[in-house]
Structure formats: structure tokens, C-alpha cells
Amino acid sequence: MKILVVGAGAWGTALAVAASHRHTVTLLARDPVHASEMVRDQVNKKYLPSVPLPESLIVQTGDLVPASSDAQLVVIATPMAGLREQLARLSDAKAQAPVAWLCKGFEKPVQAGSAGLLGHELARTLAPDLRTGVLSGPSFAQEVAKGLPTALVAASPDATVVQTLVNAFHTDALRLYGSDDWVGVEVGGAVKNVLAIATGLCDGLTLGLNARAALITRGLAEMARLGVALGARQETFMGLSGLGDLVLTATGDLSRNRQVGLQLATGRSLPEIITSLGHVAEGVYSARTVVSRANALGVDMPISRAVVALLDGELTAAQAVRQLMQRQPTAET
């Protein structure tokens, strides 16, 4: 199979490396200098420095449309902010290959008063003619690139897209499960980033393992409430893209969103933290949209609201925790 991966960040590079052992894979980098360095050094020093690139992996730069012309699968591995442009260009080019994306989060609203959209909502709006889907689940790029065991979800209402993703990436080390609930899969991938910031804050303040367990569990309830209100199935949130991805992102120190919470607990400013990370932490950009979409649907998300207030400087770390703990008693379900 000929696969085009658009975006040479950590996750795009990792998936391209994993697939290049069985398929013809082209990794399309936005920056020509970055692409030439990867070709020269046979490693992505900027985003995945510990993993050598296979000789079979084709690294290039250039225009998306001609690069995708003979691909049998296009995988968009840009941050969420870049998904709109890539989908629009592929739609204008009338791409025939299935298109899937890896980014997790809500798009930042394009204008005041508009709603930030999930990937599948963007696809329905901008590219209804394309066959599209999403690849998500609990996965750190470094571990996938090194061939460590990982399980992901390929989600789309189009069964042929799901099967194409399975054929492309399913191996002994990378197990893929199919789903037609791409709403639930995307909500899980977006909200877990916000909850990981909260969990990092909890751990940074050394509130204990009891607090961490409570935060993850109640966060999962928030995630499911929003997802069901958007049309997802409840059971999706007990799977890889819900509970699985939440646990990994909230507790694994490779998580950039968790690192944001940990550093906020030390009193560092948000701009300082973002600069020091050097990578996108999608939860920072999605948190406000998560709360905005929840408010519009009448969905209560107190943990996510506290994260937004913290990011906006309306609450200190200690105040955010106190606000959550002082809420009125309620039934668990």
C-alpha cells in the first residue's frame, strides 16, 4: 500500500516509521530544511531524536496535492490547527484515497461566536465528498516508533476507511480496533487532554493518589456526558479512546498536557510553560472550546471549567482545587 503521512512531528514520524516496514510510506514535511536534515541524518532530531528512520521511508517536502495523487491512504498528522486547511485542499483536489487524521482536540473557533469543531465535524463541513476517518487511542509516539505494544482505534462511519487503516497499520506490535462511533472517539481524544492538565496539577500539588483516582474517574464522567450530548455512544468512553487514552495522558510523564499541569502547580506562567515544552499541548487550546460546547448543550463539566479558569489566570492552582472540593454533594450517577 502507498501511504502518505502529512506532517513530520513526533506522532506523524512514529506512525510513518511503524508502517514503512510493510508499506511504501512517504512522510511529507512542511519545512524544507527539516526535511533535508531528516534525509541527511536519518533521524528526526527535532521531534523524535531517539528513533532512527528506516531506509525505506521516503522523506520529502512540497505541495500536498501532487504528493497525494497516487496515495492509497492519506494520513494527516498536523496539529488540530492545520486540519482545516489539509481537508479543504484534498477536497478541492477531489482526492480518491481514504483520508484519516491523528490530531486530537477541538479546533479553535475561526471567528467570534462560532463553535470550535471536532475533526469529523470539519470533514462533514469542508470535505463531505472525501472518505474520512480518525485514528486515535492511548499512544506515545516514542513507544510506537520503537515497536512497543500499542492498541489504537480506527473510527469512521465508512467501513472501507476503517478497513484501510487496519490494513495499513495493524501488526504484531500495533493492534487496531475498528469503530463506527467517530464522535465518541474524537470527544475522548479531545477532552482527555484537558483532564490531563487537571491531573498534572493534582500531582504537582502532591494531593495524593486518592485525589488522582477521583479526578480521573470524575473526569471520565464529564467526558462521557459531553460525548453522549454530541451523539456518541456511552460505551465508547469505556474503551481505548476514552478511558484508555485518559489514563495514559493523565498519568504518563511523556504527556505534554500533564506536564502543563505539573508546571502550573509550581507557579510558572502559561506562556513560559508553552515555550519550554517546544511542542503543542492540545489541551491548552481545546479547554475553552470544550467548556463552550458543554455550556451550549447544558452539560456540567466542573473539572474542565476549573482548568479554563486556571489557564485564564482567574484562579490559582490552590483555588481551583478548593473550588472543586467545595461543590455541593451529589449522586455519582
Q: Give the pLDDT confidence of 170-191 residue by residue, as tens digits.
A: 999 999 999 999 999 999 999 9
- Please name the residue that has the C-alpha cell 508553552: 274
Is pLDDT above 70 for 5?
yes
**Angle at Cα 185 formed by Cα 257 and Cα 167, nearest 5°?**
110
Residue 283 contacts residue 304 (beta carbons within 8 Å): no
Query: How high is the pLDDT of residue 180?
Result: 98
Our measurement of the distance from residue 253's CA atom to the centroid of its chain's CA atoms, rounded to an integer in Å, reads: 16
Distance CA 51, CA 142 (A): 8
pLDDT at 214: 93
Helices (H), the chain: 10-19, 32-41, 64-68, 83-92, 119-126, 141-145, 159-169, 182-204, 209-229, 245-251, 256-264, 270-277, 282-297, 302-311, 317-325
pLDDT band at 285 (very low <50, low <70, confident <90, very high): confident
- Catalytic-residue membership of 192: yes
Question: To which H or E segment does residue 42 belong?
Answer: none
Q: How far apart are the first and last CA of the chain?
A: 47
Nearest in space to 283 (alpha carbons), one of 198, 205, 170, 181: 198
Calpha distance 99→116 (Å, rounded): 21
- pLDDT band for position 66 (cuts 50, 70, 90): very high
- Examine the pLDDT at 113 and tell me if it is beyond 70: no
Asked if pLDDT for residue 112 goes beyond 90, the answer is no
**Structure-block grid coordinates of residue 181:** 462511533
For residue 251, pLDDT beyond 70: yes
> How do beta strands 2-6 and 24-29 pair?
parallel
CB atoms within 10 A of CB 36: 14
Distance CA(287)–CA(315), nearest Å, equals 15
Angle (CA) 91-159-92 rounded to 5° is: 5
| pLDDT over 80 at 147, yes or no | yes
Condensed to tens digits (0 to 9), the pLDDT of residues 9-31 reads: 999 999 999 999 999 999 999 99
Mean pLDDT confidence for 76-99: 96
pLDDT score recorded for residue 318: 87
Q: Which of 2, 45, 108, 192 is catalytic?
A: 192
Identify the weakest region by mean pLDDT among 48-52, 236-240, 314-318, 326-330: 326-330
* Residue 12 dihedral angles phi and psi, to the nearest 5°: -60, -45
Residue 114 has pLDDT above 80, yes or no: no
Residue 282's pLDDT is what? Answer: 87
Which one has a higher pLDDT value, 288 or 110?
288
Nearest to 212 by CA among 223, 193, 196, 190: 196
**pLDDT tier at 45 (50, 70, 90 boundaries)?**
very high
In this prediction, residues 117-125 reach a mean pLDDT of: 96
Count of alpha carbons within 13 angstroms of residue 88, beta-carbon side = 7
Query: What is the pLDDT, as a whole number, of residue 321?
Result: 84
pLDDT at residue 281, as a whole number: 84
Q: Residues 212, 200: contact at Cβ < 8 Å? A: no
